[in-house]
Structure 1
C-alpha cells in the first residue's frame, strides 16, 4: 500500500509539469497564437482606458491622402507629382525636419499639359511651348523640390515570399537585376546596417526589389523600403525594421529615419537577430547621448507600441490642406514682398507702377499679381480708415465708400484688417498678454481668427514693435486642420517646425487600411509615427523568449502538483482563481509599466487544465482507495470506521504496519465442541452466526476492529486503525456488554423451538448440573503491539501480533480454572478501576 501511495504521489508530482509542457507545445501552434494575440490587443485598449496612452512625441505625424484630398485633386491614380511638390515645398519652408514617403515613385511620369494651361496661353510659339512643357515635367519639378528641401526620404518595395523559404528556394526566385537595380543595390550596400559578430543571419529574405526612380533617389536624403508584415490573423502588430536581399541588409524607412533623427550613421547600426538593433551613441531628443537597443525577433521585426486610435494620436495634415497652405504661402510671400517694396519706395503705391515693378522682378503669374496687389491696396485703404476713425465699423466704411453690397472677399479683408489691428494694439500696449488674455479681451471675435491674427502679429514683431513694412496688417489666412485634441488648429511655421511626417493613403476604400490592436481599420501610413515614437520615446515592447515560457508553464504545473493534492476541491479552486488573478495583474502591469509581453493564454491554460487534471486524477485515486478500503477492510472493520477511512483516505497509509499501545480482545465459548456435536452443519452455522452477529455488533459499536473468527472464537482489537486514547475503556465496556448480551441471548434460546432438540436437551442437562449454557470467556489486555496489513504478496490481513496479543489469548483460555467470564491485565484495570469492579486473580 505504501508503494502504491508513493507511486501515485510521483504521478501527481509529474502531472502538473506534464500539463505545462503540453500547453507550451500547444503554444507553438497558429491556433494558440491567434488566441494570444487577442489578449495582446486587449492590453493596449485596457492600458489606454486605465492609464491613458503612452508618451507621444509631438513632432510625429502624417500627411494624409484622405477622401477630401482625392475629391479635390481627382482620382488618385491620375495624380501628377506636382501635387506632392507643393506639399514638400511648404513643409520645408515651414521647418519640417523630415518627410518620408509611403508612396512609391518607381517609374517616370508622363508629361501632361492640361486644358487650363493651354487656355491660359497668351500666344503659341516655340518658346511658349518649351516653357509650357518644362512646367509639365512633373518629375523634374519634384526632383528640384526634393533638392531644395533636403529632408525627403523615398519609399521602395522589396518582394518577400509568404512563409519561410530556404536559401535554395530564394535563389530560385531571384531574377537577374537590371542596370538600374544593380546601381541601387550598390548604393544600398554602402548605406546598410551591419550584422553583429557571430550572429546567425535569420532576417527575412527578399527575392526582388523596386527602388525609387533614379532621378529622385539620387537627390533624396535617403530611400528605404516602406512595407508592413501581417501576423497570422492578418493584423499588423509588428514592423520589419530590416530585410535582406542576397547578402545586403535593407533598412526600413522607419529605421533609416530614426537613425537620422538620433544622428547615428546607418552604417554604424548593428543588427543582432533575435536580440536587438543597436544604435550606438544616439543623440537623444533630451540632449543625452546613449546607446539605443531596439528589441527584435529573429526575423528583424519589432513590436510596435501602438499609441491609440488614429484620430486620437499624432498630428494628421490632410494633403490638400497642405497644398492650399503652399498656395497661401505663395500669395503671402508675394504680399510680403509688395509691402517691403512699397515701404522702400512710396511711389509704388501707384497700382500701375507697382505691377510694372513686380513684373520686372520676375513675377510672371499675372492672375496672382492682380489678386495680391488688389488685396494689398484694399487693405491699405481699409487700415488707414480704421486707424483714423476710432470704432469704425464695416457698415460705416462701405457707406463712406458708396458701396451698398461689398463682395465677400472685400468683407473678409476688412474684418481681418480690423481684427488684426485690435490684436496689434493690445500686444503693443502689453506684449506679455497671453492667448487667453486676448480671447477674453476680444470675446466678441471668432476665437480661431483671433488666434491667427495673434500668431501673425507676434511673427512680425521686431524688438517689441511692428515695423512699417508689416503694414497694412493684412495676411492670407492659414489653413485650418483638426488636431487630435479636437480643437481647431492652423498650418503655420510654428506648428510644422521640427515635424517628422510620413506621406501616405488614408482614404476609405484604399488598400492601405488594415487591422491593428487599437483599431479595426487603421491607415497603414500611421504605423511609421508609431514605430518612430516607440524608438524615440524608448517605450519598447519585448515578448519573452520561448524558453522562458516553457520554464514558466512547467513551474506553474509543478506548483499545482505540490499544492492541489493537499487541498480540498473548493480550496483548490480558490487557489487557482487567486493564481489567475495575480498572474493576470502581473501580465497587465508588466505590459503597461515595463513593456513586457508575458504570455497570457498559455499560463492560464496551464493553471486551469493542470488543476482539473490533478483534481480529476485525485478523484479517481480516491475512488480507487475507497474501493480498496471497502473491499480490503470492510469484512473486519465496522461500517463507521470504513466510512471514516473513506472520508480521509490518507488514513490508508496508517494501515501499513506500526507499533502502538492498544487493547487486544479474545473470546471463546466454553465446551463449544460439545455444543457443535449436537448440531447438524446447517444448524451449527445458524447458531454460530447468531452468536457472532450479536457479539460483533457490540464490539464494532465500541469502535473495535474484528481481526478474525476461529470457529466460535472472536479476535478483535481496540485502537486501530482509528486510534482512541480510551481504547482500554472501550474494550472493557464491550466485554461487559457482551456478557450482558449473552444473558439475553440465553433467555431468547429458551423460547419454543429456539434451539434444535438435541441442543435443548444439552442445555437442560447442564442446567440440572448447575453449568451455564454457552458460557463465554473473554481475555482483554492493553500494551504495545504491532498492527497492520500482514501476509503474502497476494493476500494480506489487517491483524495484530506481539506479547500483549499472546497474553490476551492466554487470559481467555486461562479462565477455565478460575470460572470467570472476563479477565484483563493490570494496564486495563488501571484505566477502568473508577468505572468497574474487579478483583485480582493471579499472576500469569
Structure 2
C-alpha cells in the first residue's frame, strides 16, 4: 500500500502541473494546434448555398487598375446586384473617411455630348433660319434687330443650362454610394470597436450610431450578472452618408490567437452601456427578425428562435470554418464581373448610337414596337430616379425592362436588318449622280455596317451570358463584399489554410449560425479533473503489471487519453483540452514504468553491461527483450552488406607512431560508424581500418539497400570535412579516401561461434561479393561500387552509372557493377550531363564502335576531370582499335585482383 501511495504522488503532481500550464500562452498554443487537428478529423460543416463572397480580387484590381476602388464603382456594382434579387449584402469594407468628389462618367460620356449636340444644333437651325429669311427677303434687314436679340437671349439661356449640366459631372461619391445602399435595401455596414478614443468622430455620428445600432433592451445578462463580452474604449462607425442608408451595422474586429490563427470571434462587444454585434452576427440577427437575447456567461440564447449559441471560456464563439481553402469555401463572384457588365452595356449602346447617327436604326431595318435608343435613354433616366429615391422595389421592373430592351436589340442584330441596309447602300451607290465625297461615304458605310453589327452581336452574346450567370449567382444570395486580392494583404490564417482571405470569415460566422453546428469547449477546472482521473488510472494499472504488459497498458492509456476526447469532439463538437491528459498520462506512465524497471534492472543491467562494448544497441535491445537469442544459430534474410577500406592506409600508418595511428583510427571509425548506425545499420566488426556492416538485421527494414547507399554517400561527404580537420590538426600526413563496396542478397545472420564466445555476424557468398566490390574500386578509379542486385532496390533519388559486367575473384557468376555517384538533387547539371554522355559511350563500346566510344568517353573527362571509369574505357578503346577482342567476346571481364 505504501508503494501504491508513493506512486500516486506522480499523477497528482502531473495533473496539477499540466492543467496549470493551460494558463500559459505557449502551452495554450500547443493545445490550440491539437484543436486544429481535431477540427481536421471532424466532418466538415455544410455550406449554405445562399452565402456568396463578392471578391474585389486581383482580377478586379488589375483590370480596373485602381486600389482601393472608388466608391462610385462600388455603388454601380451594388445597384447592378439589386437587379438580380439578392437578399442581403454585408460590407467588409470600413467606409470611415470621406472620399474625394468623383466624376459621373454617365453624365460626362453620354448626357453632356448629347446636350451639346442638341443645343448647338438648335442654335445652328435658328441662325440658318434667320439668314435664309433675310436672303429670301421675307422681311427687311432693318426689322431683324428684335429677332437677333431674341436669338442672343436664347443662346445665353442655353449657355447657362449647359453650364448647369457640366456641373453635374462632379459627383459626391459618398452620397452616391449611400443612395445605392438605400436602393439595395438589406445592407450591413461597419461600426468597429477601438482600443483608443478617436476625437475625429463627430457628435452627430456618435449619437446616430448609439441610437440605432446597439441591442438596447434586446440583450439580457442573466444569472449572477457575469458579463462575458469584451469592452472597447471607442466606436468607429462608417461615415453618416453610408451608415444612415444601411439596415444595420456590426464590427469587423476579430481577435487573433497568439499563434496567429483565427479560431473564435466576439459576437458582442460592449462600449459604455451599449452592446454592439459582430458584422456576421448582426446580419444573422437581423435576418432572424431581431429576437431578444439572454446570456448566462457560457451561452447566448436567442429567444423565440430556440437557438443557444455556446460561448468559449473567454466569451467568444468558435468559428466553424468550412473544411476547405478560401476558393472552395462558399460560392464566389468576382466584383469585376459586375463592372464588366456595365462596360459591355455601355459598349453595346455606343455601337447602337453610331448606327442611329447614320439613320439605320429605325424602320424598315428594325420593325419593333420601340425606338431602341429612346427606350434606353428613358430606362437610364428611370434608373437614376429610382436610385435617387432609394426605391429598390423598382429593381425587378427595371430588370424586366432591360431584358426586354436587350431582346429587341437581339432582334435588330440577328434579324435581316444588316442585310437590308447593305442592299440599300449598294443600290444607293449605283446612282451615277453621286459626288466623289458621297462615293467615299458609301464605301465607308459598306465597311462600317458589317463591322459594327458583328461587334455588337459579340458584345450582346457576352452580355446576355454574363447576365444569366449573375442571375444564377446573385438571386437570393447573402453576399459578403470585401477585398481578397493578394496585393491588399487582407489575409489571415485559419485552421485549414495559412492564406485565407479575411472576407471569408464573415461568411463563415453567418454559416455557423445558420447551420447551428456549434463547437464548444469545457472549463479548465473540468479539464483538470479529467486529467487527474486518467493519470491516476494509468498509474494504478501500470504499477500492478510487469514491465512488458505495463508498457502496453501505459501506451494504451496514453492513446485513450487522445482518442476518447477526439471521439467526443467528433460526435458532440465539444473540445476537451487534450494536451493535459496526454502529458499527465505519459508522465505518470513513464514514472511508473521506471519504478517497475528498477525492480528488474539487475538482470537486464548485467546483459547490457556484458555486451554493450561489442554489440550494437539494437542487438542488445533484442537480446534484452528475448534472451533466447543468446543461443547459437542464424537465419537467412535478404540483407545489404557494406565493406569499407582506406586507400593506401599502409603508407599512412608507416608515417605515424602507434599512438598517433590509434588516435587517427578512433576518430575515423567513430565518424563513419555513427553514420552507419544513424541509418539503422549494424556494425559487424572492424578489421584494422576496414568496417564491415550490414543493413536489415537485427531490425528488419524494407529499404535496407537505400539505407546502405545513403550511409555510403554520407560517409563520403563526411570524409571531406573530416580530412580538413585531420590535416589542420596534423593528425594524418595525407587525406583519407574510403573505398566502399555494397551488395544486396540472401545472407545468413545470427550468433556465430561457441557457447562461450560468439559474434553477431553475417555469412554467405553475397557477403563475399560486397567485399570483392570494395577492392574492384581500385581498378576503375571509383570510390563506391554497388551490385546490380542493390541497384534494383534503390530509387531515383540516387544517381548510378553502369561500369561493367565482371567476374570477381572467387565468384564465377558474372556481376553487373555500378558506381554510386550521388544524390540526384546534389549533383550539378554538368555531372548529370556527363553521366548521360558516359552511358552513350558505353553503348558505342559494347557495339564495338571503338572510335565513337573513345570520343564520347573523352567528352566525359572534359566535364568530370580525372574520371577513372572513362580513363579505363579509353585505354580499352585504343587497345581494341589495334586488336579487336575475340569474336565470341561476351563483354564480361575477369578480374584477377582482389
TM-score (norm 2): 0.51
CA separation in 1, counterparts of 2:471 and 2:409? 26
Matched, 1:144 2:144: no
Cα deviation code 1:386-428 (max 9, x no counterpart): 999xxxxxxxxxxxxx9899967745766899xxxxxxxxxxx
C-alpha distance 356-598 of structure 1, shift in aligned 2 (>3 A): closer
CA separation in 2, counterparts of 1:23 and 1:478? 61
C-alpha distance 125-512 of structure 1, shift in aligned 2 (>3 A): farther
Alignment counterpart, residue 320 of structure 1, candidates 329, 336, 348: 336
CA separation in 2, counterparts of 1:623 and 1:378? 94
Alignment counterpart, residue 213 of structure 2, candidates 179, 188, 210: 188
Could you tell me how far 1:570 is from its partner in structure 2? 2.3
Counterparts of residues 730-741 of structure 1 (less than 5 Å): none
| Cα contact 1:331–1:372 (8 A) shared by 2 | no
Larger Rg: 1
- Paired position in structure 2 for 1:479: 466
Matched, 1:45 2:40: yes
Cα deviation code 1:85-128 (max 9, x no counterpart): 12211222211111010101122222133899657633495544
CA separation in 1, counterparts of 2:194 and 2:103? 35
| Cα contact 1:17–1:556 (8 A) shared by 2 | no
Give the SS at the match of 1:61: strand
Cα deviation code 1:512-551 (max 9, x no counterpart): 1011101011111101111111111111110122122111
- Paired position in structure 1 for 2:7: 12
CA separation in 1, counterparts of 2:369 and 2:243? 45
Higher relative contact order (CA 8 A, sep 6+): 1
CA separation in 2, counterparts of 1:58 and 1:359? 35
CA separation in 2, counterparts of 1:347 and 1:39? 75
| Cα contact 1:60–1:499 (8 A) shared by 2 | yes
Cα deviation code 1:654-709 (max 9, x no counterpart): xxxxxxxxxxxxxxxxxxxxxxxxxxxxxxxxxxxxxxxxxxxxxxxxxxxxxxxx
Give the SS at the match of 1:509: helix
Alignment counterpart, residue 259 of structure 1, candidates 267, 285, 295: 285
CA separation in 1, counterparts of 2:302 and 2:348? 42
C-alpha distance 7-303 of structure 1, shift in aligned 2 (>3 A): same
Matched, 1:76 2:67: yes
Cα deviation code 1:238-277 (max 9, x no counterpart): 1111111112111111111111222233xx122333x111
| Cα contact 1:332–1:475 (8 A) shared by 2 | no
Alignment counterpart, residue 375 of structure 2, candidates 358, 371, 392: 358
Could you tell me how far 1:211 is from its partner in structure 2? 0.8
Give the SS at the match of 1:104: coil
C-alpha distance 348-364 of structure 1, shift in aligned 2 (>3 A): farther
| Cα contact 1:379–1:413 (8 A) shared by 2 | no
CA separation in 2, counterparts of 1:207 and 1:505? 27
| Cα contact 1:309–1:519 (8 A) shared by 2 | yes
CA separation in 2, counterparts of 1:583 and 1:549? 12
Could you tell me how far 1:593 is from its partner in structure 2? 2.7
Matched, 1:550 2:550: no
CA separation in 2, counterparts of 1:600 and 1:206? 32
Matched, 1:34 2:29: yes
CA separation in 1, counterparts of 2:402 and 2:30? 65
Give the SS at the match of 1:478: helix
Matched, 1:380 2:412: yes
CA separation in 2, counterparts of 1:17 and 1:408? 88
CA separation in 1, counterparts of 2:317 and 2:221? 17
- Paired position in structure 2 for 1:222: 248
- For structure 2, the residue ranges without an aligned partner over 5 or more in a row are 117-157, 353-361, 383-400, 421-444, 606-898
Could you tell me how far 1:34 is from its partner in structure 2? 1.3
Cα deviation code 1:571-608 (max 9, x no counterpart): 12211222233343333333333212122222111111
Give the SS at the match of 2:261: coil
CA separation in 1, counterparts of 2:342 and 2:457? 24
| Cα contact 2:88–2:477 (8 A) shared by 1 | yes
Could you tell me how far 1:28 is from its partner in structure 2? 2.2
- Paired position in structure 2 for 1:534: 512
Give the SS at the match of 1:605: helix
Matched, 1:277 2:300: yes
C-alpha distance 203-360 of structure 1, shift in aligned 2 (>3 A): closer
Counterparts of residues 322-471 of structure 1 (less than 5 Å): 322-325=338-341, 349=366, 354=371, 357-358=374-375, 361=378, 376=408, 379-380=411-412, 382-383=414-415, 410-411=453-454
Matched, 1:292 2:307: yes
Could you tell me how far 1:617 is from its partner in structure 2? 3.8
CA separation in 2, counterparts of 1:498 and 1:370? 20
CA separation in 2, counterparts of 1:613 and 1:138? 71
| Cα contact 2:191–2:251 (8 A) shared by 1 | yes
- Paired position in structure 2 for 1:508: 486
- Paired position in structure 1 for 2:581: 603
C-alpha distance 332-43 of structure 1, shift in aligned 2 (>3 A): farther
CA separation in 1, counterparts of 2:415 and 2:522? 68
C-alpha distance 146-251 of structure 1, shift in aligned 2 (>3 A): same
Give the SS at the match of 1:310: coil
Could you tell me how far 1:59 is from its partner in structure 2? 0.6
CA separation in 2, counterparts of 1:362 and 1:567? 88
- Paired position in structure 2 for 1:676: none
CA separation in 2, counterparts of 1:139 and 1:387? 48
Give the SS at the match of 2:192: strand
Cα deviation code 1:354-405 (max 9, x no counterpart): 267437847579xxx99999995674363469999xxxxxxxxxxxxx9899
Which sits farther off after the overlay, 519-528 or 15-24? Answer: 15-24
Matched, 1:200 2:226: yes
CA separation in 1, counterparts of 2:247 and 2:29? 40
- Paired position in structure 1 for 2:569: 591
- Paired position in structure 2 for 1:211: 237
Give the SS at the match of 1:502: strand
C-alpha distance 217-601 of structure 1, shift in aligned 2 (>3 A): same
Cα deviation code 1:135-178 (max 9, x no counterpart): 522222212221121111101221137xxxxxxxxxxx697974
- Paired position in structure 2 for 1:669: none
Which sits farther off after the overlay, 315-324 or 122-131? Answer: 122-131
Matched, 1:242 2:268: yes
CA separation in 1, counterparts of 2:339 and 2:542? 69
Could you tell me how far 1:499 is from its partner in structure 2? 0.8
- For structure 1, the residue ranges without an aligned partner over 5 or more in a row are 1-5, 162-172, 283-290, 337-344, 389-401, 418-473, 481-489, 628-844
Counterparts of residues 628-777 of structure 1 (less than 5 Å): none
